[in-house]
Structure 1
Amino acid sequence: MYKAITRSFLATFVRGGTSNGLIIKRSILSKDETKWQPILSSAMGSPDPSGRQLNGMGSGISSTSKICVISTSEREDADVEYTFIQVGIKVGDLDMAGNCGNMSSAVGPVAWDEGMIEKKEIEGGEATVRMYNTNTNKTVHSTFSIDDESGKYNPTGDYSIDGVPGHASRITMSFLDPAGAKTGKALPTGNPIDELRLQDGSSIKASLVDVANPGVFILASDVGIPGDVTPDALGADSATMERLEQIRRAGAAMMCLDPDVQSVPKIVLISKPKSGDKGVNIVCRALSMQQAHKAAPLTLASNLGAACRMPGTLPAMTAVNAEGRDSVVIAHASGKLEVGSVMEDGKIISALLHRTARVLMKGDVFYTLHTND
């Protein structure tokens, strides 16, 4: 007999950077991660063949179908650990192959307010939380504002990021030793540029770079796309989107990653800024989960910023006035983003970015389990 059982779990609904999603304590879920899928996908409103996620917390685009599962850490170099989950919209699969920099920005403040952090020194009204990301086995330091009276995270401030209206307090994210997050090397093939051979018999040049999250960087002009194409126009071009997926899959295979995993690597189209784009070093358009991204995935922006400092790569040859700079300004579909990187003797020590975050809601999230018993 068919049965539908409705249950709930406690969660925090947050905006982190230009994404939003749920943050859940690991203690609430089963220790067996294979049992998470029906619970978390239902909570987000997936699977949904219509792609709208009307029956859950998601809203039908990749940047709003996300979850972070957090816990205290026993590691000496971390205060908390977190696992990022990209929930498939139409199918409802859970993709845990890569990290999300935007959602990462909310992890520290939420863990702090939930009392998961041992008392830490507050300097200049700010606290720093050391976070270990289990997707990439990398450490991220998150520094954010603390309210003097309550001792809680203070989201108010005068900092703004493109793609999010209004102002908030700044969160500084430092991704330590970000190279080789999934492949073990910043340049997985050892080459600054590789030639990818596609299923249709054609080929294209790409830079395969793995910093914070692996990316496949190609020139927008090589696929006949204007560098400033809008996400809607790009997404509506089915022939180009199909070709871009072929390129992504070919890049994944060359990086020894699974082409069937949609979250990594992501593909990024790059181009030179136009003469009127003052202060911009490079322009990008990114795809995520076979959708044209409305802004730029933060880990991919970090990757692009580092790639601009790697001699011989397509980003380095495309970027304008970036030589000798510790940070680059990237123009994306919703505005601009500045990303920095610290390098010593050619090694990437850390990648630095700024975000904002806000708790939107806390409480019970309902999900439905279906059985045929």
Structure 2
Amino acid sequence: MPTHPLPATFMRGGTSNGLLIHRHDLPPNPSDWQMILSSAMGSPDPYSRQLNGMGSGISSTSKVCVVEKSARADADLDYTFVQVGIRDGSLDLAGNCGNMSSAIGPWAFNEGLLEFGGEGRREVSVRVFNTNTNKVILATFEVDGEKGVFEAEGEYGIDGVPGTGSRITLEFLDPAGAKTGKGALPTGRAVDVVKLNDGSSIEVTLSDVANPGVFVRAEDVGVAGDVNPAALEEKAGLMARLEEIRQKGAELMGLDPKTQTIPKIAMISRPTEKDDEGVNVIVRALSMQQPHKAVPLTLALNLGTASRTEGTLPAQVARGVEKGGKSVTVAHPSGKLEVGGVFGEDGAIKSALLHRTARILMKGDVYYSVKE
């Protein structure tokens, strides 16, 4: 198979990393991207290591972002997120990645897709339209207008990433119903009962904010809320049960149960006395049938707003969440994450927001092989 170069940037966004690519460097039809992007990431790989590409064998590092200038009146950039299947090389464009969303504005500025002239270091804001969810994200980050570069250096730190960087604020505007189009609670209920194939039933909350999620109490599936991801992965029976719950939840939300990226499933639990007093809820999430070592960012946003929505399982489990408060602190395997939300007087979710950092790791050509 001939090998071809593709201009790309390898970049960390939040607790994920992946390739950022100009839309014009790929075929016009996304259906023709599969062989190019899967090969670039090192998939398909039956060994799940992606040694032959830029991925590293886990879902949070097998990602691609495709970006271009937007023709929309309400956006500056269009951004398509692609999750690359590690074993099978499939491309999943169903949902967005909140972590990699933090890299879009800074990368686009460095690539000349945005114009912010002027003196010195300062904050700028960019409207990013995510094509996966048809939602706009307002990204605010620091630039050096004279040098024309994103300012990555700073003092802001996030759990799961060593060191510090400049703070990037992401505000997900009107995030409810991001994929289902049916509002924050697609079934119209704060709690649903899912019937499983073995005849048992389990309570879930099905929520669609930023990205759809299925929330289940950890105790209801027989594990501690702070279970280690490695220990969780060893429980084959539980992993299969969680996948069944996820698929049943997807059906109730009107989504394709076979699509792995959405909805994601998360086990939630109430913090105990030994946990930091500032923690409101504990989460253990799965992504692409793998225990996540942190928490998918859009799922954390979803959990944050669900924790402030009356009657949901997250609201029942969460500790010390103020009804009029703007933020919820989520504990995950790598630390803590504070997520915010703004609610209107009618209870509608106006926006969800959080802070990240990002850094360019490498720029040049990534090579891929295709059959000809």
Same fold (TM > 0.5): yes
1:121·1:127 contact (CA, 8 Å) conserved in 2?
A: no
Change (3 A) 1:95 1:121: farther
Corresponding position of 2:203: 205
Structure 1 residue 199, shift from structure 2 partner: 1.9
Does the 8 Å CA contact 1:45/1:57 hold for their aligned counterparts?
yes
Corresponding residue of 1:50:
47
Answer whether contact 2:116 2:145 (CA < 8 A) is retained: no
Is the Cα contact below 8 Å between 2:117 and 2:145 reproduced in 1? no
Determine the structure 1 residue equivalent to 2:305. 306
C-alpha separation between the residues in 2 aligned to 1:30 and 1:91? 21
**What secondary structure, in the 3-state scheme, does the structure 2 residue paired with 1:55 have?**
coil
Q: Provide the rounded CA distance (Å) in 2 between the counterparts of 1:276 and 1:120.
A: 50
| Equivalent position SS for 1:125 | strand
Q: Which of 270, 273, 278 pairs up with 1:272? A: 270
> 2:214 touches 2:263 (CA, 8 Å); kept in 1?
yes
Instruction: For 1:287-366, list aligned pairs within 5 A.
Output: 287-324=286-323, 325-344=325-344, 345-366=346-367
Detail structure 1 runs of 4+ shifted over 2 Å in the superposition: 118-124
State yes or no: 1:282 paired with 2:281: yes
Matched, 1:22 2:19: yes
In 2, the alpha carbon distance for the partners of 1:144 and 1:80 equals 15
CA shift, 1:147, in A, is 2.6
Provide the residue aligned with 1:367 in structure 2: 368
Mark the CA change 1:142 to 1:121 in structure 2 (over 3 Å): closer, same or farther.
farther
Q: Say which of 162, 178, 181 aligns to 1:181.
A: 178
Provide the residue aligned with 1:237 in structure 2. Answer: 235
1:223 pairs with one of 216, 221, 224: 221
Whole-angstrom CA distance in 2 between matches of 1:124 and 1:169: 11
Verify: 1:86 aligned to 2:87, yes or no: no
**1:73 equivalent in alignment to 2:70:** yes
- State the 1:334 CA deviation: 0.3
* CA distance, structure 2, for counterparts of residue 66 and residue 235 of structure 1: 22
Instruction: Quote how far apart the aligned CAs of 1:123 are.
Output: 10
User: Are the counterparts in 1 of residues 266 and 286 from structure 2 also a CA contact under 8 Å?
Assistant: yes
SS in 2 for 1:253: helix
- SS of the equivalent of 1:362 reads strand
State the superposition RMSD in angstroms. 1.2
Deviation at 1:201, TM superposition (A): 1.8
Could you tell me which residue of structure 2 aligns to residue 10 of structure 1?
A: 7
Question: Structure 2 unaligned runs (5+)?
Answer: none
SS at match of 1:229: coil
| Alignment partners' CA distance in 2, 1:123 and 1:233 | 49
Query: How many percent of aligned residue pairs carry the same amino acid?
Result: 61
Shift of 1:200: 2.0
TM-score by length of 2: 0.97
Quote the Cα distance in structure 2 between the aligned partners of 1:199 and 1:361. Answer: 47
User: 2-side partners of 1:121 and 1:132: how far apart?
Assistant: 25
Counterpart Cα distance in 2 of 1:227 and 1:233: 12
SS in 2 for 1:245: helix
Alignment of structure 1 residues 120-199 onto 2, 5 Å? 125-147=122-144, 149-184=146-181, 185-199=183-197
- Supply the distance in 2 between the matched residues of 1:54 and 1:200 (Cα, whole angstroms): 39
Residues 226 and 123 of structure 1, relative CA distance in 2, 3 Å threshold: farther
Displacement, 1:152?
A: 1.4
Contact 1:163-1:334 within 8 A present in 2 as well: yes
Question: Following the alignment from structure 1 to structure 2, what is the Cα–Cα distance between the partners of residues 108 and 120?
Answer: 15
- Kindly indicate whether the alpha-carbon contact (under 8 Å) linking 1:194 and 1:206 is maintained by their aligned counterparts in 2: yes
**What is the CA-CA distance between 1:323 and the residue it aligns to?**
2.3
Q: CA 1:122–1:217 in structure 2 vs 1: closer, same or farther (change >3 Å)?
A: farther
Contact 2:96 2:211 in 1 (8 A): yes
